[in-house]
Amino acid sequence: MGLVKPKKFLGQHFLKDLSIAKDIADTVDECPGLPILEVGPGMGVLTQFLMEKGREVKVVELDFESVAYLRENFPALEGNIIEDDFLKLKLEKLFDGRPFVLTGNYPYNISSQIFFKMLDYKDLIPCCTGMIQKEVAERIAAGPGSKTYGILSILIQAWYKVEYLFTVHEHVFNPPPKVKSAVIRMTRNETKELGCNERLFKLIVKTTFNQRRKTLRNSISSILEKGNPLSNDPVFNKRPEQLSVQEFIELTNRVETALKDKADIDCGNDIARKGATSQKE
């Protein structure tokens, strides 16, 4: 069969430059020994270099035409081509439960969702590399005080060290995208424990950034609902973009304490109310 005609709705911008494809494939070298899962191999420009690494390589591709192309041109991949939507794929059994490297020249329209999924599977993914829209790469790597610092930056940096590796220009793709691209690497921290309640941490990050202009005191009060027992600590007068990941962890611990105090107060009030009612009876 001939080359695959790029489909816009699948975010297909095929890489033409082999030396850039090789550079992207080489980003997995910092994560030695692990099997590799490539998202969106298209016509295999990156896959061919990943296969040279002497590791187990699986690919997941949604486009049936690209899958047919790969089956015809990459017989050595037989059995390792998964025709599916990466966002729906169950990853637990993929390499018999072994951890793996996630990589790809990702479909830009779903890159944030891909990284949220990586976070859900962080125990299995110690390393994630690849190419995305430059603006998203900058957002992931951003620090406090920057305009692009947000939910994705904090949640990823809480568990991964982020490296912005290099920028890629539009003309090396067919068709050229409207935006520049960038290659990044995310390497999971040695300790997987955050030092706070993970679910509450995620809730606080999302709640505060969804009301970015509000002070933490105001946005967090929606989590505590009525009877906000937050202290007068000036940290609560800050806005979310001013806090580092570590400060968000400390904040989570304070909010958890406040929630426990509130539960104790509510419970105490409840007992007092019940006591008062029974005395009347």
Ligand X SMILES: C[S@@+](CC[C@H](N)C(=O)[O-])C[C@H]1O[C@@H](n2cnc3c(N)ncnc32)[C@H](O)[C@@H]1O
Site for ligand X in 13-52 (CB under 6 A): 13-15, 39-42, 45-46
Is 169 labeled as ligand-binding? no
Is 13 labeled as ligand-binding? yes
Closest approach, Cβ 87 to ligand X, in A, equals: 5
For residue 117, what are the CA distances in angstroms to 76, 123, 215, 236, 242?
A: 28, 12, 29, 30, 26
Closer CB to ligand X, residue 130 or residue 150?
130
Using DSSP bridges, classify how beta strands 81-83 and 57-61 pair: parallel, antiparallel or unpaired: parallel
Query: The tokens of 3 are what?
Result: 């080359």
Q: What sign has the CA pseudo-torsion 34, 60, 69, 132?
A: negative
- Cβ(131)–Cβ(183) below 8 Å: yes
Q: Is 85 in the site for ligand X (CB under 6 A)?
A: yes
Q: Is 66 in the site for ligand X (CB under 6 A)?
A: yes
Among 68, 87, 94, 119, binds ligand X (CB under 6 A): 87
Closer CB to ligand X, residue 45 or residue 142?
45
> Which parts of the chain fold into alpha helices (H)?
18-26, 47-51, 64-73, 111-120, 134-141, 151-159, 198-210, 216-224, 245-280
224 CB-near residues (< 8 Å, 6+ apart): 230, 255, 258, 259, 262
Q: Is 136 in the site for ligand X (CB under 6 A)?
A: no
Site for ligand X in 232-261 (CB under 6 A): none
Q: Is 107 in the site for ligand X (CB under 6 A)?
A: yes
Closer CB to ligand X, residue 41 or residue 150?
41
Is 40 labeled as ligand-binding? yes
Give the C-alpha separation, 20 to 180, whole Å.
14
Q: Which residues define the annotated binding site?
A: 13, 15, 40, 61, 85, 105
Q: Which residues define the annotated binding site for S-adenosyl-L-methionine?
A: 13, 15, 40, 61, 85, 105
Residues that bind ligand X (CB under 6 A): 10-15, 39-42, 45-46, 60-63, 66, 85-87, 105, 107, 110
